[in-house]
Amino acid sequence: MARRSRKQITLKDPRAMRALAHPARITVIDELYGGRVATSTELAELTGLTPSAMSYHMRAMEKLGIIERDESAADARERPWRAAGRGVSFAALTTRAQHAAAGVLTAAIVETQQRELESYVSAEPDLPAEWREKGILNTGTEYLTAAETKQLIDALMAAAEPFRRKGRRRRKGTRRVRAGFLVVPIVD
């Protein structure tokens, strides 16, 4: 596998943010930024789209600089894709258009996570025993200063990092796992 660029992809264009709000594109970004290199056909199977529809999405994301071709394929007929960087984030949101687009993308990401949580809860009784009771939703409110909130975010990111590095490789006994956390100041 060709080595991925270590740059952070920073979205500034509101059109790009809105373009990524499609559920299939969110799944592809998760998969490729998780370390996978995959063809449009493989990603189509993952998302339930046709290979031609997935190819359209892949070319659109390539134009945005989110993904790129991986030239390491042994077979020239295979045209795999990879992440264009180590992560995707928003630029400082300074315009109304950027705020609106970030809201659309954030809502789409949260909807995807909600569907995954609901699917897990309904399927859990039928999962193999080792995969039951492995999901958690734990929420609460705390009274923190801005500095303490930043410390909490940094601590959670640091705790997740070893698992993110390890989880980039598919190994026997593994499955895709959604890991996330929400830290947000409550606006009264």
Q: State whether 110 and 158 are in the same domain.
A: no
> Would 3 be classed as within a structural domain?
no
Total structural domains within the chain: 2
Q: State whether 13 and 55 are in the same domain.
A: yes
> Would 2 be classed as within a structural domain?
no
Length of the chain: 188
pLDDT at residue 4 greater than cutoff 70:
no
Q: Cβ contacts of residue 166 below 8 Å, gap of 6+?
A: none
What is the span of the domain harbouring residue 158? 138-188
pLDDT in tens, 112-157: 889 989 999 999 999 999 999 888 888 889 999 999 999 999 999 8
Q: State whether 104 and 146 are in the same domain.
A: no
Tell me the percentage of the chain whose pLDDT exceeds 90: 53
Please provide the distance, in angstroms rounded to a whole number, between the alpha carbons at the two ends of the chain: 49
Q: Model pTM?
A: 0.76
Alpha carbon of 161 to those of 5, 77, 138, 164, 168: distances in Å?
Answer: 18, 35, 20, 5, 11
Between CA 16 and CA 65 the distance in angstroms is: 10
- Residue 177 has which token pair? 């796992």
> Would 60 be classed as within a structural domain?
yes
